[in-house]
Amino acid sequence: MSISDEERDEYPDGSVKLRNPNIELMDQDILYHLALGSESHDLVEMFGDVKFVCMGGTPKRMEDFAHYIMQEIGYKIPTGTKLMDISQYSYRYCLYKVGPVLSVSHGMGPSSISILLHEIIKLMYHAKCKDPIFFRIGTCGGIGIEGGTVVISDNALDGLQDNNYAVATLGKLVKRPARLDKKLVRELQALAHSDDPYDTVTGTTMCTSDFYEGQGRLDGAFCEYTEADKMAFLKNLKEKHNVTNIEMEIIPFAALTHHAGIRAAVVCVALLDRLRGDQVATPKEVMNEWQLRPQILIARYIKKYLQNK
Ligand code: R2B
Ligand code: URA
């Protein structure tokens, strides 16, 4: 079952609908990996005003983003209190709320982000959030772009160059289209400043379920191909499929948000150019500065939205 871009507009009140008739019939819904529940917590009171869900791989980056966005949007928390990780007792993902912004970690790889997305989408539903926008702010390997370049994804492919999220369900492969919101891509690209000391580009992103062999690296614990095989693969990705970068979450992110009728975008910074090597050898301080770049772009979007509200 799939929905087209047009069908996504079928929810005129902006609410998030679940495509699962079972949830409404349940006495309670436990969002196990977030340490939240529809009966144990007043989710409407806690999360009803959420407008942006920002996710990234590591708990530290998302804690930093929560502090950064708090400063950027001028959000004040009561004196004497500090930002708390709402999901700390899940010991899985972190979750911070800064006014209309959620900042949440998703771990590494398709399965980890997929579990998180099921629960965050249900959270949006239980909380009666209206028209939330989801962003993934991450890192990636670039193909033919310099380290530090920011990539806004306008298309997603898996490791077999397929544009669907395939999940084995009841012994069969169920495929859902991995689509990104083109308008959001344009709006984000327009927020790149000409005087930013780095490039911001738009391109196709390849999603893999492994960092080493899955991304054609020569430096994993195992490798049964040559440098020439790897280069031919990467060059073919770039030349034939317009692939600009490689990461590990975009396919489920694009497919599950699209299936839920949620506008979503992925903005990643390239940590290296894979045509020049495999090891991530950039100094930590430089990498930390690079990782702020997607956050800066998303903060510009959120601030603009809140100013125009
Ligand atoms: C980017 O970086 C991680 C692997 O190092 C992975 O989560 C991704 O998508
Ligand atoms: N994340 C990835 O998935 N690949 C890279 O090469 C760098 C970051």
Tell me the mean pLDDT per 10 residues along the chain, length 309.
Answer: 44 81 97 98 98 98 98 94 96 98 98 98 97 98 98 98 98 98 98 98 98 98 98 98 98 97 97 98 97 98 95
Which residue's entry shows tokens 């280069």?
A: 231
Cα 56 to ligand 1 centre (Å): 9
Ligand 1 lined by 198 (C-beta under 6 Å): no
For the chain, the 3-state helix, strand and coil shares in percent, each to the nearest 5, are 35, 25, 40
The backbone torsions φ and ψ at residue 147, rounded to the nearest 5 degrees and listed phi first, read: -55, 140
Q: pLDDT value at position 7?
A: 44
CA distance readout (Å), 72 to 49, 298, 304: 18, 11, 11
Q: pLDDT value at position 3?
A: 46
Which ligand 2 atom lies nearest to the CA of residue 271?
Answer: 7
Q: pLDDT value at position 217?
A: 98
Question: Which of 58, 106, 108, 139 has most ligand 2 atoms within 8 Å of its beta carbon, as the pocket-test mutant?
Answer: 139
Ligand 1 lined by 85 (C-beta under 6 Å): no
Q: pLDDT value at position 309?
A: 83
Token pair for 7: 């069908």
Q: pLDDT value at position 175?
A: 98
Which ligand 1 atom lies nearest to the CA of residue 280?
Answer: 5
Q: pLDDT value at position 53?
A: 98
Which ligand 1 atom lies nearest to the CA of residue 106?
Answer: 7
pTM metric for this prediction: 0.96
